[in-house]
Copies of this chain bind each other. A is one copy, B any other.
């Protein structure tokens, strides 16, 4: 959707193809080199930063929609996207939108569009290695940034709340799910996973207790293998207990004790 004609069609008749009243707004966390960031796009129509969101097609499933939107907006494919909350309480999510707000900057002004109706947002999140991602923008967005989670600017609508809740959920789930699975080598040292957890949780963790607890909780296991990193330094290697997580998630029993 890139020509002016296609955009006009979308504004006027898009509700024939997409469900009104609902958007999907993914929060994409990016970890790399001890930094935790989120992906923001600059939305031309609002002249501000926001999440890479979009609408659900009338005949696609919710999960398909979430993945398509992310791919359309950012080029990201095959990411583990997790739904975490529907946002429908803030004033932005109860009232209708103003036409001027939406349409002015795209080169059209319409008095009435399905886009101005009340819209709830379904929040999803994912965690990726941002050094491996190439983001592409579309007609509605003209820039992107990976923004440090501690320096998020004022976002569109209630999206700062969406980001806050996504971060709380990520921090909660890091003790229960193999969220860090794709961010570390298959076999890693304790300092490596320790730094990953400190970065995601945004606080210091006692290294000895931290390791002990992850092993007791059944999240990681110590291997009978060491990595030689210097003449007198060869730390033991660890691995995620991925099967235990998957069992836990499926059966609702999170702790292995």
Selecting from A80-88, A135-143, A230-238, the interface stretch reads: A80-88
Residue interface mask A199-218, B partner, CB < 8 A = 1: 00100000001000100000
- What's the Cα separation between A85 and B62 when bound, in Å? 11
- What's the Cα separation between A113 and B60 when bound, in Å? 21
A118 touches B58 (CB 8 A): yes
Q: How far is the CB of A250 from chain B (nearest CB, A)?
A: 8
Copies of this chain? 2
| In the complex with contacts A19-B118, A22-B22, A171-B253 CB distance below 8 A | yes
Interface check A94, CB cutoff 8 A = yes
Question: Please, which residues of chain B bring their CB within 8 A of the CB of A19?
Answer: 21, 118, 120
Interface SS of A by simple majority = mixed
- What's the Cα separation between A167 and B139 when bound, in Å? 43
Interface check A61, CB cutoff 8 A = yes
Question: Please, which residues of chain B bring their CB within 8 A of the CB of A85?
Answer: 83
B213 touches A172 (CB 8 A): no
B88 touches A61 (CB 8 A): yes
B59 touches A120 (CB 8 A): no
Q: How far is the CB of A20 from chain B (nearest CB, A)?
A: 7
Question: Please, which residues of chain B bring their CB within 8 A of the CB of A172?
Answer: 176, 252, 254
- Residues of A near any B CB (own CB < 8 A): 19-22, 56, 58-63, 65, 83, 85-89, 93-95, 118, 120, 122, 167-172, 175-176, 201, 209, 213, 251-255, 257
The 8 closest A-B pairs by CB, nearest first: A62-B88, A171-B252, A168-B252, A61-B89, A19-B21, A63-B89, A172-B252, A61-B94
